[in-house]
Amino acid sequence: MLDAAPAPLVQVRDLKMHFPIYTGIFRKHTGDVKAVDGVSFDIMAGQTLGLVGESGCGKSTVGRAMLRLYEPTAGRVVIDGDDVARMAPEALRKKRPTMQMVFQDPQASLNPRMTLAEIVSEPLDEHTDWTRDQKLERVYELMDQVGLNRRFVNRFPHEFSGGQRQRIGIARALALKPRFIVCDEPIAALDVSIQAQVVNLLEDLQEKLGLTYLFISHDLSMVRHLAQKVAVMYLGRIAELSPSKDLYRRPLHPYAEALLSAVNEPDPELAARRNRIILKGDVPSPANPPKGCNFCTRCPKVMDICRTVKPDLLEVEPGRLVACHLYPTKTAAGSTGASEAAVLKNQERNQQGETR
Amino acid sequence: MADGAASVLDVRDLKTVFRTRGGEIHAVNDVSFHLKPGELLGVVGESGSGKSVTMMSLLRLLPAPPADIRSGKVLLNGKDLLAMSDDQLRAVRGAKVGFVFQDPMTSLNPVFTLGNQIMEPLIKHLKMTKAQAETRAVELLDLVGIPDAKHRLYQYPHQFSGGMRQRVMIAIALACDPDVLIADEPTTALDVTIQAQILELVKELRRKLGMAIIWITHDLGVIAGIADRVMVMYGGQIVEHAPVKELFANPQHPYTRALLQTIPRITGDRETRLKVIEGQPPILSGPLTACPFRARCEYRFDACDAANPARRAVDGQPIGQGHDVACHWTAPARQEPAHA
C-alpha cells in the first residue's frame, strides 16, 4: 500500500457520469442526462470531504460512480493508488475491500430475511476464506465497535430501530477494514436525537481506524460539523470547493451563499434579523442544462457572460476553488494558485480525451 | 383553557389509543392546546411523539379501528368535532380546516389533473359551478406562486416538481378559505432552497389571509423562523409549551434543552462533539405512570419514576397561555437529584 502522509488518498479528476436517453420505437440515442459533468476533488487520508447540494444535483451519483456502482462515462478516480474507474473486473473485486459505502436508508439497504450476523459477515464470505468461528468473532468485534449489543446477533433488521439499523449498515461497511467510506446521506432518514448518535459514532470510528470519508448530505450544518473540506454541487458540477471554516464564514459562489442562507437556524432572534436569499424557480433538468453557467437561470447576480460561457472551477483565493464569472479579475491577479488549477484542468481535459 | 371563547380551535384532554394485537398503544395522552385566530402554533417532536396522530385525531382522520379516540373535546369555533356525525364532519374537513401533508409526491392523485383536484373541494363544499371553480382555481394557483396557472390546471402531478406540488397542496388546502390550516411536516421532503420558498409563501399567505396555522415539524430551525408559540411533544404528551422566543431563550424541559444542543449550527463556533440524547423514544404500551423521558434523561431522580409530571406554569401564567413545562426536575420544590 502506498502510504505517503501528505498525498491524498482519493483523487477524482473530471469525473463524468452521463445516463443515455433513448426515444422513439427504434430506441434512438437522443441525449444524455448529465448527472455528473466534470467533477474533480481530492480527499486527504483520514479526513472528511463533505459533498452538499440539493436533490438531483448529482451528489449521490458521484459517490456511486466513484465506487464503480455505476460505470463512469469519463474521468479518473484514484483511490489509494489505483484508478478505480478503469480497473478490470477481477482487479476491481480485489480492490473492493478498501472502499465501502454506507447507504441512506437503513430500512431498504438491509435484507429483511437475513440476520444481523449474516448481513455483517456477508462481505467476509465474499472476500475471505475464514472459518465460521473466525467470521463470528469478527462480527462480534464489529458490533462492539458500532455500539450494538452482542445479544442481538441473531436478530432480523425489523427488530431494530432506525438508528440501530444504521449501525448495522456501518458495521457491514467496516467488516473488511476499508480505508475509504462513502457515506451517502447516512443520517437523513433518522430522527434528530438519533442523528447525533450516528454522527458521533462515525467520528469516533474515523479517529480510531483512520478512515477517510466522503460525506454526502443535504444537511449543511451537519456537514460543517464533520467535514474539513466541503464541495457544493449544483446540477452535476462543483460550484465551490473550500475548506469548511472558510465556506461557512463567507461563501464565495452565489449558489453556496443562497444555500447557506436558506438553512434554518434554531434561533428566533437570528431568524428575524437574517437576510435570506430566496432563489426563484427550480433546478433545471440535467438532461437539458443551460448553455452557460448551470446556475444562471436562478442566480441573483447573473451577468451576460454567465448565459453563454460555462465557468471553470478556479482557485480564487488560497485553497478555495470557485466556478463563477464573478471572480475573473482575482484569478488573473492571484497568479500561482490560479495557474496551478488551470494546469490541473488541462490535464483533466487530456485524460478525458484518452478515455473516450 | 381560560379564554376558550377567543380561540378558533380549543383542544381539551385529547386521548387517542391504538388497539393492536400486541396490546394498546397510548399515542396521545391528555393533550390540551388552543389556537387563536391568525396565530401560528409550532408542534415539535420526533417520530412517534404523537404530533401527527394528535392532529389526525382532531378531524378523526385515523382509521378506527385500530385508532380509538378515548376522550377529549375538539372545539372548532365552539362546536365539538368529536361529537359530530360523519356527514357533519365531512363539511368541516377541507372547508373549515385545511390539511397539508408531508409528502407532496404521494398525496396528490396521479391520475387526475391538478385542476380536478383543486376544484373538487370548491364544487363539493362551496357548491360552485365548474366554471366558477375553474376561475377560483386559477386564482389559487396564482396566490401560491405557480406561473402560467391557466395552462397548468390541465397538467398532471408528475409534470410538477416537488416544490411546485407542495404549492399545489397548499392551494388545495386554502381553496375553501379555512379558519385553520394544519400543515404536517410540509417542508420536510423538500430541499433547503425550496423549503425557504415555501416558508416565505406561508408567511405571505398568513399576512394576506390571516388564517390560524398549526405547523408540525421535527425541525427546530423551521419553527424558530415562523412560529408564534411552540409546543414540544414527547411520549404522546406536551412536555413544554412557550412563546417561540421564550422557548429558545429559556428552555426548561431536559428534552427541549437536549434537542437544542444536538443540532449543529452553521454560524458561531463549531462544536467539537455533538451532544447526544442516549437511548430510544419510549414505546407507549400503557397509560403513562411515570415521566416518558426518564430513561433518556440525565436529571432523572426518584419522582420521575413515581409519577408522570403534570404541566406546570413557569412564568405564573395559566397553563397553555404562557410558558409551561411537564417536568419534576424543574419544579421549584424538588429535592436535589440523586446522582446515578
Which candidate from A196, A221, A262 shows the least CB-CB separation from B195? A262
Size of interface A-B (CB pairs under 8 A): 120
Tell me what the mean pLDDT of segment B120-140 comes to: 88
Q: For the segment A262-279, what is each residue's pLDDT rounded down to a tens digit? A: 888 888 887 777 778 888
Residue A244, all three cell numbers: 469548511
What confidence tier does A31 reach under pLDDT thresholds 50, 70, 90?
confident
Nearest CA in chain A to B296: A193
* Residue A294 located in a structural domain: no
- Please give the mean pLDDT across all residues of chain A: 86
What confidence tier does A26 reach under pLDDT thresholds 50, 70, 90?
confident
Tell me what the mean pLDDT of segment A345-354 comes to: 46
Confirm if B14 and B54 have CB atoms less than 8 A apart. Answer: yes
CATH number 1.10.10.10 is the correct assignment for the domain at B4-96+176-325: no
User: Hey, how many other C-beta atoms are within 10 angstroms of the C-beta on A185?
Assistant: 19
A265/B258 touch (CB, cutoff 8 Å), yes or no: no
Give percent of chain A above pLDDT 90: 53
Give percent of chain A above pLDDT 70: 90
Which candidate from A54, A221, A261 shows the least CB-CB separation from B264? A221
Q: For the segment B171-202, what is each residue's pLDDT rounded down to a tens digit? A: 888 888 888 999 988 887 777 887 888 888 88
Chain A residues whose CB is inside 8 A of the B264 CB are 221-222, 224-225
Phi, psi of B30 (to 5 degrees): 50, 60
What is the pLDDT at residue B144? 81
* Residue A342 located in a structural domain: no
Q: Say how far apart CA A94 and CA A80 lie, in whole Å.
A: 13
* Residue A246 located in a structural domain: yes
* Residue A31 located in a structural domain: yes
What confidence tier does A188 reach under pLDDT thresholds 50, 70, 90?
confident
The pairing of beta strand B312-313 with beta strand B324-325 = antiparallel
Reply yes or no on whether the pLDDT at A355 is more than 50.
no
Reply yes or no on whether the pLDDT at A98 is more than 90.
yes
Chain B residues whose CB is inside 8 A of the A197 CB are 276-278
Burial B228-262 (b: 16+ CB within 10 A, else e): bbbbbbbbbbbbbbbbbbbbbeebbbbbbbbbbbb
A266/B262 touch (CB, cutoff 8 Å), yes or no: no
Closest CA to B57 of B87, B93, B108: B93
CA of A161, closest CA in chain B: separation in Å? Answer: 8
* Residue A339 located in a structural domain: no
Reply yes or no on whether the pLDDT at A3 is more than 60.
no
Residues of chain A contacting B, Cβ within 8 Å: 54-55, 161, 163, 191-197, 199-200, 203, 218, 220-222, 224-225, 245, 248, 258-271, 276, 278-280, 282
What confidence tier does A6 reach under pLDDT thresholds 50, 70, 90?
low
Tell me what the mean pLDDT of segment B61-80 comes to: 86
Reply yes or no on whether the pLDDT at A354 is more than 50.
no
Domain range annotation of chain B: 4-96+176-325
What confidence tier does B333 reach under pLDDT thresholds 50, 70, 90?
low
What is the pLDDT at residue A140? 94
Tell me what the mean pLDDT of segment B127-139 comes to: 89
Reply yes or no on whether the pLDDT at B221 is more than 90.
no
What is the pLDDT at residue A334? 41
* Residue A235 located in a structural domain: yes
Confirm if A51 and A238 have CB atoms less than 8 A apart. Answer: no
Reply yes or no on whether the pLDDT at A19 is more than 60.
yes
User: Domain count of chain A?
Assistant: 1
Which candidate from B197, B200, B245 shows the least CB-CB separation from A269? B245
Chain A residues whose CB is inside 8 A of the B259 CB are 192-193
What is the pLDDT at residue B334? 57
DSSP states of B88-140? HHHTTBTTTEEEE-S-TTTSS-TTS-HHHHHHHHHHHHH---HHHHHHHHHHH
User: Hey, how many other C-beta atoms are within 10 angstroms of the C-beta on A30?
Assistant: 11
CATH of the domain at A103: 3.40.50.300
Tell me what the mean pLDDT of segment B64-88 comes to: 87
Reply yes or no on whether the pLDDT at B327 is more than 80.
yes
Q: What is the pTM of this model?
A: 0.81
CA of A256, closest CA in chain B: separation in Å? Answer: 11
CA of A299, closest CA in chain B: separation in Å? Answer: 12
- Residue range of the domain that includes A116: 8-250
- Angle, alpha carbons B198-A193-A243 (nearest 5°): 70
* Residue A332 located in a structural domain: no
What is the pLDDT at residue A343? 44
CA of A223, closest CA in chain B: separation in Å? Answer: 9
CA of A93, closest CA in chain B: separation in Å? Answer: 36
Which candidate from B195, B224, B262 shows the least CB-CB separation from A193? B262
Reply yes or no on whether the pLDDT at A117 is more than 90.
yes
Chain B residues whose CB is inside 8 A of the A225 CB are 264, 270-271, 274
Nearest CA in chain A to B258: A193
